[in-house]
Amino acid sequence: MTAKTAQAPAANANLNANLFAALRAAFPADLDATAIETADGPGAPAFYTWRDLDRATARIANLLDSMDLPAGSRVAVQTDKSVEALMLYLAVLRAGFVYLPLNNAYQAGEIEYFVGNAEPAVVVCTPKNFPWISKIAFKAGTRNVFALGDDRSGSLLQRAAHHGDEHNVAVRGPDDLAAILYTSGTTGRSKGAMLSHGNLLSNAQTLKAYWDWQPGDVLLHALPIFHVHGLFVASHGALLNGSKMIWFGKYDPKATIARLREATVFMGVPTLYVRMLAEAALDTAACAHTRLFISGSAPLLKETFDEWTQRSGHVILERYGMSETVMLTSNPCRAADGARVGGTVGYALPGVGVRVQGDQGQALPAGEIGGIEVRGPNVFQGYWRMPEKTAEEFTADGWFKTGDVGRIEADGRVTIVGRSKDLIISGGYNVYPAEIEGLINEMPGVAESAVVGLPHRDFGEGVIAVVVPKAGATLDGAQMVAALKTRIANFKVPKQVFIVPDLPRNAMGKVQKNLLREQHKGLFGA
């Protein structure tokens, strides 16, 4: 990490690898044009100009600078989605600190872990959650806790208003940290994936070119901004192109379809597409203005891909990425680069290496299935304060093991066929069975449990738990669900709990989760 140099000498501006400097340089010449128009939430429609983005991020960056934080300080943020929350992210980059976004579904136990592990110098939360989050933060040694509501309320903006609206972007090198994204592991607690300014900027620039961002493009932004897809892929894409965003605080399929008539680019997890397809209003006329529909974060079912083609007249571009690497592969955007093929995630992005290795780490021929490994300027700097975990996830020759399983055809096209990591992806959010099983196993009367994902019409996969009571104990599945809701983010909570006398095991004593998935596969009607 470079020393704190918030006041960059103007002569060095071109040498600054700070991501914000590149985003700011892409603002259009007309700073009074609309950068973001809100489509829902308090005060909608609200219009934010590029000048508003510049000034508000300057004020917040000046506030951060005024606190004399050590270089590399983390700013942990759990707020609702709002334009001001995006400004806060940009301001943290601008001031050269490290942004740590937290899903707003996380409960106290989860927040306690993240704050304890990352030791942020600053925590920002909603006014509603301030009483309990500030307690957790102060206990962990964080001295600065601010509130930010989705209606511009809270101490963050009040304090920032006392600061100037000009700010020299902090000079940062490409390897300096820009963000930490917590991502769970198959064993143990969540790990913080450290992403640098260079990781994020190189990926954003690659996607700008590969997805053929055009002058006049307008992005409909309907994803949460706590994860890679909404925060980086979508926001950076629009900002780096100087493109306007139509901004939804909450996803609503009807309202989204109505606003597609003004948007040229849309990005969503598969559930967003499934929900739009359930609306009669989704037709070729509604989609006529949009040039590019992108899907990722979870597998897009072939039937969703086909139905979308038929109903909208557009072929979805599916791409593949992860928190540790941002985007890795993509189906082509331009017809000249090839066809978009449903069920595949396309080709390695320019500058990104993707290979498939066998169990013994041997190279596999085209078409054979193995572990997907990647390298490139987009691959993260390691897990926060976990050098051993980081080392485990890289091969001796420097490739990152994604934990995804797939194959690469002779022409380079990648298909994901499964995961070696025990991971469920529900509505685009990751759920690690080990975390949920750990909590269930601690409950009174529980002998053991297995958490699996089942095909789910809406979420792709839906979480269930199969639980064995201790001898003589009586368990109530509904009560267990209610108890879990107070402890973990709601999307991780099993939709149903089955109480059984024992779990199926193989000869080695390992729980046969595939049998549980088979037994319950029709539960969610998929």
- Applying CB under 6 A, the residues found at the interface with ligand AMP are 183, 228, 296-299, 318, 320-323, 345, 402-404, 416, 419, 425, 430
Cα separation, 97 vs 76, in Å, equals 11
Binding of residue 296 to ligand MLC (CB under 6 A)? yes
Binding of residue 229 to ligand MLC (CB under 6 A)? yes
Task: Give the residue with the Cβ less far from ligand MLC, 77 or 95.
Answer: 77
Q: Which does 345 bind (CB under 5 to 8 A by kind): ligand AMP, ligand MLC, none?
A: ligand AMP
Task: Give the residue with the Cβ less far from ligand AMP, 137 or 425.
Answer: 425
The residues near 494 (Cβ < 8 Å, ≥ 6 apart) are: 436, 451, 463, 464, 465, 481, 484
> Any idea what DSSP says for residue 301?
P
Are the beta carbons of 462 and 401 closer than 8 angstroms? no
Contacts with ligand MLC by CB under 6 A: the residue count is: 21
Say if residue 11 is exposed, middle or buried (CB neighbours under 10 Å; 0-12, 13-18, 19+): exposed
Q: Which does 318 bind (CB under 5 to 8 A by kind): ligand AMP, ligand MLC, none?
A: ligand AMP
The neighbouring-strand residues paired with 499 are 467
Binding of residue 190 to ligand MLC (CB under 6 A)? no
Task: Give the residue with the Cβ less far from ligand AMP, 506 or 514.
Answer: 514
Q: Which does 269 bind (CB under 5 to 8 A by kind): ligand AMP, ligand MLC, none?
A: ligand MLC
- Cα 333 to the center of its chain, rounded Å: 22
Binding of residue 479 to ligand MLC (CB under 6 A)? no
Cα separation, 179 vs 29, in Å, equals 28
> Whole-number minimum distance, CB 263 to ligand AMP, in Å?
21
Per the structure block, which two tokens stand in for 13? 């501006």
Cα separation, 311 vs 306, in Å, equals 9
Binding of residue 17 to ligand MLC (CB under 6 A)? no
Instruction: Map tokens 């190189």 to a residue.
Output: 202
Say if residue 352 is exposed, middle or buried (CB neighbours under 10 Å; 0-12, 13-18, 19+): buried
Beta strands (DSSP E) in 26-154 are 34-38, 47-49, 74-78, 98-101, 122-125, 144-147
Beta strands (DSSP E) in 81-176 are 98-101, 122-125, 144-147
Q: Which does 224 bind (CB under 5 to 8 A by kind): ligand AMP, ligand MLC, none?
A: ligand MLC
- Cα 330 to the center of its chain, rounded Å: 17
Looking at 101, 185, 230, 342, which residue binds ligand MLC (CB under 6 A)? 230
> Whole-number minimum distance, CB 410 to ligand MLC, in Å?
25
Ranges within 352-411 binding ligand MLC (CB under 6 A): none
Looking at 113, 132, 394, 491, which residue binds ligand MLC (CB under 6 A)? 491
Binding of residue 428 to ligand MLC (CB under 6 A)? yes
Instruction: Map tokens 């000869």 to a residue.
Output: 507
Binding of residue 483 to ligand MLC (CB under 6 A)? no
Task: Give the residue with the Cβ less far from ligand AMP, 40 or 307.
Answer: 307
Q: Which does 490 bind (CB under 5 to 8 A by kind): ligand MLC, ligand AMP, none?
A: ligand MLC
> Whole-number minimum distance, CB 440 to ligand MLC, in Å?
17
Binding site for ligand MLC (CB under 6 A): 223-224, 227-230, 250-251, 269, 271, 296-297, 321-322, 426-429, 459, 490-491
